[in-house]
Amino acid sequence: MPASLQLQVDRTLTFARLKESPDSYRGRLILVGGEVLSAKRLKDGTRVEILQIPLEESQAPGTDRMTSEGRLLAIQREFLDPATIPPGTRVTIIGEATGAMTLPLDETDYTYPTLEIKHLKVWPMRDNQASRPGSYSGPAWHPFYGPWYRSPYWR
């Protein structure tokens, strides 16, 4: 994380407090992490829906989704291709609190605290994420040639 931004982060502002009263903290910077649930390109930026997960000492989000205190929406004003942060991507954000937005979530309405992204850190996939359907993390296992066979068609 950039040192200049880390010095501006309000360390007393927790996600729980932000979620409880998002309008009270407008303009303050918060450090928050979690797992991307979706990303959508809008006219004026990209909106990322994140399941908040408490940060570890390394500032990476933990792995236990049950520790989540809720969801948030983070807006990236510059171009951010949603394909670069697919669902399941772990992120840490320094963001400026901008209020709240209420959107449908399944059969109810959910009020999301909103942040404008000032810095976005994307964490590498963990081993258990690499085995998810649709992901590819290296040479494939081949029944005749072993686990490190690389097809000539994948070059």
pLDDT band at 113 (very low <50, low <70, confident <90, very high): very high
Please enumerate in sequence order all residues whose Cβ is within 8 A of that of 99, keeping only pairs 6 or more positions apart, or say none: 22, 23, 26, 113, 114
This prediction has a pTM of: 0.80
The answer on pLDDT for 133 being more than 90 is no
The answer on pLDDT for 154 being more than 50 is no
DSSP string of 13-45, one letter each residue? --HHHHHH-GGGGTT-EEEEEEEEEEEEEETTE
What does the pLDDT read at residue 136? 40
Note the pLDDT tens digit of each residue in 60-100: 999 999 999 999 999 999 889 999 999 999 999 999 999 99
The answer on pLDDT for 33 being more than 90 is yes
Residue 154 DSSP one-character state: G
Domain ranges within the chain, ordered by starting residue: 3-125
**If residue 118 lies in a helix (H) or strand (E), which one and from where to where?**
strand 108-122
What does the pLDDT read at residue 127? 60
What does the pLDDT read at residue 122? 97
The architecture in CATH of the region 3-125 reads Beta Barrel (2.40)
Pairing of strands 108-122, 29-42: unpaired
Q: What are phi and psi of 133, to 5 degrees?
A: -55, 140
